[in-house]
Amino acid sequence: MKIESVTSHVLEYELPEQLGYSQQYYSKRTAHLVEVRTDDGAVGWGECFGPGGVARVNRTIIETVLAPLLIGRDPFAREAFWHDAYNRMRDHGQKGMPLQALSGIDIALWDLAGRILGRPIADLIGGRCRDTVPVYGYGMMLRPVPDLAARFAEKAAMLEARGFAALKMKVGLGVRADIALVEAVRGALRDDTRLMVDANHAYHTADAFAVGRALGGLGVHWFEEPVVPEDLEGYRELRAGLTVNISGGEAEFTRWGWRRLLEARALDIAQPEVCALGGISEYLKVLALCHAHFTPVVDVAPEVSPLIAGLCSCCGPIGTGLQTRSG
């Protein structure tokens, strides 16, 4: 059995209204799927992180750089392919789009192996440690509208009514506007509903401190990506100086990038992005690093994400609930 083809599918649709985060508004939603087929008809599917033009660049990397390296190989030789591909791209991109493209193929190879063997990927990586995973609701994206606080509060109450015990919202409009948004959402929720706030690296450190202090007073569970991912010193200062948990890492890549981030003691909660950092193969190595640094992991997904008890969804818990400062 050999790999016969690698096909990249970029899917897009027009949104009924613009959505955004701290860095931009956008009018389309994109999904980038990777299809890997063997010569006997088995198929595996993966996904690459990155919207719009980024997805199209990733497709080019897959079609012109990675697919020629994979076609003709044993579909189970994931690790050998991963290192061959990374070594081929190392001089041209140790982070970013080359790793996003590689992630989609790696995930597809894991999916392919599971389908060939008739076993879920959880079994292939060691077995399930739990049968259910709690999730949080996520739908409060920025919009260019005058009544954003009211719309956020309405959306939060709707998600809570649907049974979500934790919610996440976007900020990034400025210190005062962001605090007002969080106050509106917090006021619309029950006291026992967890709230998380995602800034998508909107602030410099001083403004992040101002927002973070307010979030701590409002009982927010975590403050996600408060500063740019390159600013490890800023992350470390915020973690030391605030009571709210500091989370991040979605924009970090490979075990080597994550080693530096974890050794800096910059995070209360790690958020590795499996569709970007190098796929499932690399995610497992990052997960091991997080275990070694006693850093809880929360997996991230576009709309609904697991709040992992202990460290992750595929490894044994080290306690009950997230092992973070605010409990």
Q: Which residue segments constitute the domains of the chain, with CATH numbers given?
A: 3-123 (3.30.390.10), 135-306 (3.20.20.120)
CA neighbor of 113 nearest in space, from 160, 59, 77, 155: 77
Q: Which residues contact 296 (CB under 8 A, 6 or more apart)?
A: 268, 269, 270, 290, 308, 310, 311, 322, 323, 324
Predicted TM-score of the model (pTM): 0.90
Question: What is the C-alpha to C-alpha distance for residues 197 and 22, in angstroms, rounded to an integer?
Answer: 12
Side-chain-side CA neighbours of 291 within 13 Å: the count stands at 13
For 85-104, the DSSP string reads HHHHHTTT-SSSHHHHHHHH
Q: What is the rounded CA–CA span in Å between residue 322 and residue 311?
A: 7
The single-letter code of the amino acid at 151 is R
**In a structure prediction context, what are the per-residue pLDDT tens digits for the chain, which is 327 residues long?**
999 999 999 999 999 999 999 999 999 999 999 999 999 999 999 999 999 999 999 999 999 999 999 999 999 999 999 999 999 999 999 999 999 999 999 999 999 999 999 999 999 999 998 888 888 998 899 999 999 999 999 999 999 999 999 999 999 999 999 999 999 999 999 999 999 999 999 999 999 999 999 999 999 999 999 999 999 999 999 999 999 999 999 999 999 999 999 999 999 999 999 999 999 999 999 999 999 999 999 976 543 333 333 333 333 322 223 333 433
Q: Sheet containing 304-306: which strands, arranged edge to edge?
A: 269-270, 245-248, 222-224, 194-198, 166-170, 135-140, 304-306
Say if residues 281 and 288 touch (Cβ distance below 8 Å). no
**CA 19, chain centre distance (Å):** 18
Contact status, residue 282 vs residue 107, Cβ threshold 8 Å = no
What confidence score (pLDDT) does residue 319 get?
26
- Which pLDDT score, from 0 to 100, does residue 131 have? 87
Q: Name the DSSP letter for residue 65.
A: I
Can you give the pLDDT at residue 132?
A: 86
User: What is the distance of C-alpha 209 from the center of its chain?
Assistant: 23
